[in-house]
Structure 1
Amino acid sequence: MLVVVALFAIYRANTGTATGAASDRYDVGSPGIGAVAPDFLLPNVTAPAGTGGTPATTRLSDYRGKTVLLYFHEGLGCQPCWDQIRDLQKDPAALAAMGADQLLTITTGPQDLVAQKMHDDGLTEPALVDSDLRVSTQYQANRYGMMGSSSDGHTFVLVGPDGIIRWRADYGGPPRFTMYVAPEQLIADERAARAGS
């Protein structure tokens, strides 16, 4: 019996559910709850360009003291991903209900096309472009999508004001390949994870 319990504990740890935060709707990748969120510096295509027309950049550590919801998404070919940004942008109460002060969106793709899509869809939240997947790989957000490891899936990481991850949900993986999560479901999932920790 002890061997069965030990094997189950190993399985739970390897599937990302040891934190009690995963559900049948999403996985929990690494770094997960309680880990320090890796800092990054990425071009921000919704911010005013710097000198010489170069894109402004944003660091996660720029938001130290605030709670930030990182949203890694598939990008240009995924309209539900842009709808997700739109619905979170138009409902600041949803972000507040999760304790988030700021939403930062992160995707791959050419900077000019991501900027154009944000403009065309009337989106103003910071759009960070991770063209080489360096940050996405660091957060393992490219393990939970429809395109294999070549793009992000649908990952949310809630980073507290101290830089510690408070909640994480990777919705994009098989077999469901979720590409949109209603804001009220995000709130419910974050609260359920917090209550279970």
Structure 2
Amino acid sequence: MHSQHFLTFFFFLLLSITTLTSSTPSSQNDDTFDFARPIDRKLLGINKKEKLSHFKFYWHDILSGKNPSSVMVVPPTLNSSTAFGLVNMIDNPLTLGPELSSKLVGKAQGFYASASQVELGFLMAMNLAFIEGKYNGSTITILGKNPAMNNVREMPVVGGSGLFRFARGYAQAHTHWIDLKSGDAVVEYNVYVFHY
């Protein structure tokens, strides 16, 4: 009788130890975690040689009229010469030429926010969503500082989707035209992107 209780006790002890050791993550080896694992680059299609591409287009920020592409969602704080605190959501056309009637190649979707109290400087967070050719459905993501009074402003490309997965690079913006009364503007963008 004692041997049967001993065997039962021993079996449950062994089962408990096995369960505890199999459910406790190892702190010595990061490869044992379930949420991260190394993978072969070829599975994501990045076994190809990396390319550098240059994209040039015009960004139309339209605040006026019946169908604006840029809409204020947060007004600026009072008594601010830099419109500090302003946030505009955008769905701005991207065209081949500076005229709005020029060929549409995509949309800039995101927001810009006045983030400086001492200069006219914006935080730009936008996806350049292309609709043209092989780039249709792919996006380039820009996130950075845009000191609007500078002749040329440089912002980082922080990623993308579709053909621009793992993208990196930079964008240069130059104001082509601005209407100081309405706030409408056309900005020339030159974007340099490493991608696969």
Return the TM-score normalized by structure 2: 0.26
Greater percentage in strand: 2
Greater percentage in helix: 1
Return the TM-score normalized by structure 1: 0.26
Query: Which of these two proteins has the greater Rg computed from alpha carbons?
Result: 2
Higher RCO by CA contacts (8 Å cutoff, separation 6 or greater) = 1
